[in-house]
Amino acid sequence: MHARNYGPVKGQAYTRKEYVKGFPPPKIVKFTMGDTKGTFDYEAKLISLQRKQIRHIALEATRVATNRILMDKLVNDYYMKVLPYPHIILRENKMIFGAHADRLQQGMRRSFGRTVGTAARIEPGQVLMIVRVKANAIETAKESLKRGMAKLPLTCRIVVEKIESKDAADKVEVD
């Protein structure tokens, strides 16, 4: 099985878990990490530039690579969130080649396939990951997202934005 078989977005999304026996859960351990209640100045986003399917294993590898740098350099002074959820079921009709393979397989008869994992469908411009940091840690956030981007099977870009405080927004609305 090759990962490139599941990269292109083809056909309808298959998400009916009630019909699939032995559905594998996604390998992503946590979707949010760091200080969830802290206030931060800047937000770095990892934005997709292509339409692809990303397997749950690639999303978990991205999360681990990004979080490792943030934890090493900022300890717990950051907030990170993985946005796409891998809900599409990937199936494979395993075919055996070689001597006496005809006794073990049915060919295309009942070829629904067994589940091999899950994937998330990604559109161009979709935000994959958010990292919020204070003003002095912008370069660390960029570096961590760059390391995580290397684990993904698609091209992305990093955008850094200043977070407007809610108090300032409330004052503008009142006036």
Mean predicted confidence (pLDDT) in 110-121: 82
Q: What is the pLDDT of residues 89-103, one digit of tens each?
A: 888 877 777 666 566
| pLDDT-derived band at 7, boundaries 50, 70, 90 | confident
Write down the pLDDT at residue 173.
Answer: 45
Q: What is the pLDDT of residues 118-135, one digit of tens each?
A: 999 999 999 999 999 999
* DSSP-assigned states of every residue in 104-170: T--TTTT---EEEEEEEEE-TT-EEEEEEE-GGGHHHHHHHHHHHHTTSSS-EEEEEEEPPPHHHHH
Write down the pLDDT at residue 57.
Answer: 92
Q: The tokens of 75 are what?
A: 């300890």
Q: What is the pLDDT of residues 12-54, one digit of tens each?
A: 777 777 777 777 788 888 899 999 998 999 999 999 999 999 9
Total residue length of the chain: 175
Is CATH 3.40.720.10 the classification given to domain 3-9+24-94+112-163? no
Contact predicate 121/13, CB 8 Å: yes
Q: What is the pLDDT of residues 54-90, one digit of tens each?
A: 999 999 999 999 999 999 999 999 999 999 999 888 8
